[in-house]
Amino acid sequence: MPPAQRGGRLRALGFLCLWAVVEARTRTYYLGIVEENWDYAPSGKNLITGQSLLEDK
């Protein structure tokens, strides 16, 4: 490939890369926070020892 064609292709590639930067957008995301009571032990017992949570204290 002649150097003139190679240079033209590099310029075109550079232009496309810069165009992508110009077209970048700022995105804003909003998060909603909802407080919930979690039941960390729905079985009602310590699964490691097998004891009731009331006895395990």
Going residue by residue through the chain, which has 57 residues, state the pLDDT in tens, using 9 for 90 and above. Answer: 666 677 788 888 887 777 666 567 788 999 999 998 888 778 888 888 888 877 765
Domain that holds residue 43: 3-56
pTM, rounded to two decimals = 0.30
Structural domain total, the chain: 1
Buried-state track 9-40, b at ≥16 Cβ within 10 A, e below 16: eeeeeeeeeeeeeeeeeeeeeeeeeeeeeeee
